[in-house]
Amino acid sequence: MPTSDQVYKLLSVNSNKVLDVSGASLEDGAPVIQYTSQDSPNQQWYFKTVGSVNGQEAYQIVNINSGKVLGVSGGSQDAGAPLQQQTPTGATSQQWYLTPFGNVNWQQIYQIVNVNSGKVVDVTGGSQDDGATVEQWTSSEGPNQQWLLLAAAIPNQPQLVIEKKFMQNYRVSSPVNGGSDVVAVCNSGGQIELFTIGSDGNIHTFFPDSSSETGYNETTITTGLQATALAAGIDSQGKVIVFAASLPGPVLYYTVETNDPSARWSVPTKVLGIPIPVGTIKIMSMVIQNIAGIPYMAVTTEKSANEYHVSVTSWESEPMTFTLLADNFASDPHCFFQGNAQQNVTLAAFVAPKLLFYPATGGAASSAALTSNLTPISVATVLDASNNNRTFAVLNDGDTYQLIRGPDQDGTPQYSWQPLATWQETDQKIPFQQVVVEADSTGTPQVDTISYCV
């Protein structure tokens, strides 16, 4: 039987094709078909237990791409009624039994039975074609009514682990509460180090310390700042560099790791040459990504409640030279970098319902479709051990997701959000406000999700 923490493909024994939401649609009523497996989120499902119904365990079958459930059109009990994705209502036409039905190559096969009608999931006419309709039909025990549950092939899928101890102990032991801006860096010792803005306006770092009760220790790396935004990365010499936007201003400062063990951090230096438009209220956010040994940086400034500007630079030498993007944005674009070599670095920006990609070297943006109605409130990206970009976000539903690229459609790249965890009804759901990600010394992404609870 399925487990609640696993994502599955539902494979037809007859056709070797999988259950698929047509066109990767997010809409209610989108038809469910069979299609060749592409390992895309619209072909991935998880089983949510709804309890015992008529003495049998029943499930909602939830699509990863849309969050909608498998249901029978119109709640029909008729043979031939098509299946579609629907917003969950608790109706029995959206609930399913799994009936074991022998084995194929030592793998359990099932009939999937609708609770409302007693009919089974069936590929119309026993078709083996891509795009064939999936319906409910009276059981004939045919192979087009038999399904394998295969664990979805999501390479290096991260697992979300909720850990509360660190921040609880930190609030007790530290006189300065952490702020609402946290960044992570894998330092030269291969350790994940966290930086945050304290309530005193200065930057604090938290680093692994086996002698501490919490496993971490804390120190202040600046004095006299009134920091409002924060970013950190690795410079071309392998040293940690920390940027902070500060008031009055807006003004940007940076401090760099030194070789002096008694004074690890340099005196903060003011960054010159940032093209800040007249009327700018504040530096909204910053993001740094080290690509091919060079730190790339983007600075988002807020001019008014509906006008944001972004400047881009790379720090190969001082002073840094910033380029102001030609476009302005009606909301915070939550920028992040993509690429793994100097010639392919792009800055991505969310402009619903699409993503815009700006070449770091300048030029017009290209666009991609984003198949989600959710919007990001925090985004972080990292290069993994295979030098692939891995992008994560907390979206406006408070959950954490990974950005997944699916098959192009008519030459346009398609992206969607893959949830990192499935909340059960018995869970105490934690709404997150920020995601922090960094690769450890093995290149494995370490994803921290943060909830600002009192």
Element (H, E) at 414: strand 412-419
**pTM higher than 0.75, yes or no?**
no
Q: Which pLDDT belongs to residue 427?
A: 56
pLDDT digits (tens, 9 = 90+) for 231-259: 988 887 888 999 998 877 788 899 999 98
Element (H, E) at 383: strand 376-383
Q: Which of 62-71, 380-389, 419-428 has the highest mean pLDDT?
A: 62-71
DSSP designation for 265: B
The larger pLDDT score, comparing residue 432 to residue 130, is at 130
Q: Which pLDDT belongs to residue 13?
A: 93
Q: Which pLDDT belongs to residue 165?
A: 38
pLDDT digits (tens, 9 = 90+) for 289-339: 888 888 899 999 998 778 999 999 887 666 778 888 878 898 889 999 988
Query: Do residues 243 and 286 touch, judged by C-beta distance below 8 A?
Result: yes
Q: Is the pLDDT of residue 110 over 90?
A: yes
Query: Do residues 354 and 367 touch, judged by C-beta distance below 8 A?
Result: yes
| DSSP sequence for 194-215 | EEEEETTSSEEEEEE-TTSTTS
Q: Class assignment of domain 165-450?
A: mainly beta
Q: Which of 201-205, 246-250, 384-388, 425-429 has the highest mean pLDDT?
A: 201-205
- State what percent of residues in the chain have pLDDT above 70: 89
Label residue 193 by pLDDT band (50, 70, 90).
confident
Q: Which pLDDT belongs to residue 159?
A: 42
* Mean pLDDT in residue range 118-122: 97
Q: Is the pLDDT of residue 178 over 80?
A: no
Burial of 233 per CB tally in 10 Å (0-12, 13-18, 19+):
buried
DSSP designation for 307: E
Domain 8-151: CATH architecture, name and number where available: Trefoil (2.80)
| DSSP sequence for 67-112 | --EEEEGGG--STTPBEEEE-----GGG-EEEEEEEEETTEEEEEE
At a CB cut-off of 8 Å and minimum separation 6, what does 158 contact?
A: 392, 402, 420, 445, 447
**CA 26, CA 66: separation in Å to the nearest integer?**
5
Q: Which pLDDT belongs to residue 173?
A: 36
Tell me which residue of 147, 202, 137, 212 sits closest to 175, measured CA to CA. 202
**CA 435, CA 405: separation in Å to the nearest integer?**
20
Burial of 430 per CB tally in 10 Å (0-12, 13-18, 19+):
middle
Q: What residue ranges do the domains of the chain occupy?
A: 8-151, 165-450
Query: Do residues 420 and 160 touch, judged by C-beta distance below 8 A?
Result: yes
Label residue 51 by pLDDT band (50, 70, 90).
confident
Q: Is the pLDDT of residue 341 over 70?
A: yes
Q: Is the pLDDT of residue 115 over 90?
A: yes
